[in-house]
Copies of this chain bind each other. A is one copy, B any other.
Amino acid sequence: MKIITISREFGSGGRELGKRIADKMGISYFDREIITAVAEGSQLDENYVEAVLDRGLFRDIPITVGHSIAGATSIHHTTQRIISEQQRIITEMATHNDCVIVGRNADIILRDFKPLKLFVYADMPAKIQRCRQRAPEGEHLSDKEMAKVIKRINKSRARTHTYLSPIPWGNKEGYHLCVNTSDTDIKALAELLADYAEHWFARKDNQ
């Protein structure tokens, strides 16, 4: 069983890296698919599901049904349902597929599968540059504003993680390998990491 989880800073290229590792290894890649599946399973809007999953249990988001707003208890119940559904779907995906899963705290959710856990990060100038290349809609932002956005998103990822694990998000102790993507070629890096992963799993199987 080959399960790789990729936690990553916003703007570090973790998603591209994960996709390329999966391609190179010929295994599945799950990312947005998870949100889509959770939305389908819980019969809720995909954007709403994504917002809930990004904020976690500690902050319920009002759900508007037509013009009325659902009550607090119902919202909290929905939040819990979405989180459980995500957990169920990620576990099911990992049970049936060798795969790379990006984000979604899969490193914690799948801890019993003993996945290979990677953390992908980059220097701030590299993250800003990547964000500019990927999302031209942010072009009106100054570097300082862009850095602020990146920090806010990463802070939110760190916070969600806090509720699931005693090891803080991005703390190297929680991962097998932490890779700085600044000034590296993601494509070549993916090939090297795919080799690393194959070796890691071969050894794991022999133990």
Contacts and interface: CB of A to CB of B under 8 A. Distances in A.
Contacts of A183: 203-204, 207
Tell me the interface secondary structure of chain A in the complex: mixed
Interface of A: 119, 121, 123, 170, 172-173, 175-180, 183-185, 188-189, 192, 195-196, 199-200, 203-204, 207
B177 A179 contact: yes
A122 to B, nearest CB: 10
B178 A203 contact: no
Given A172-B170, A195-B195, A203 B184 contact: yes
Contacts of A123: 173
A196 to B, nearest CB: 5
A156 B195 CA distance: 35
A180 B180 contact: no
A180 B172 contact: yes
A180 B175 contact: yes
Contact of A178 (B177, B192, B195, B207): B177
A123 B176 CA distance: 10
Contact of A172 (B172, B176, B195, B207): B172
Nearest to A198: B192
Nearest to A206: B185
A159 to B, nearest CB: 19
B172 A185 contact: no
A104 to B, nearest CB: 21
A175 B195 CA distance: 21
Contact of A195 (B179, B192, B200): B192
Nearest to A123: B173
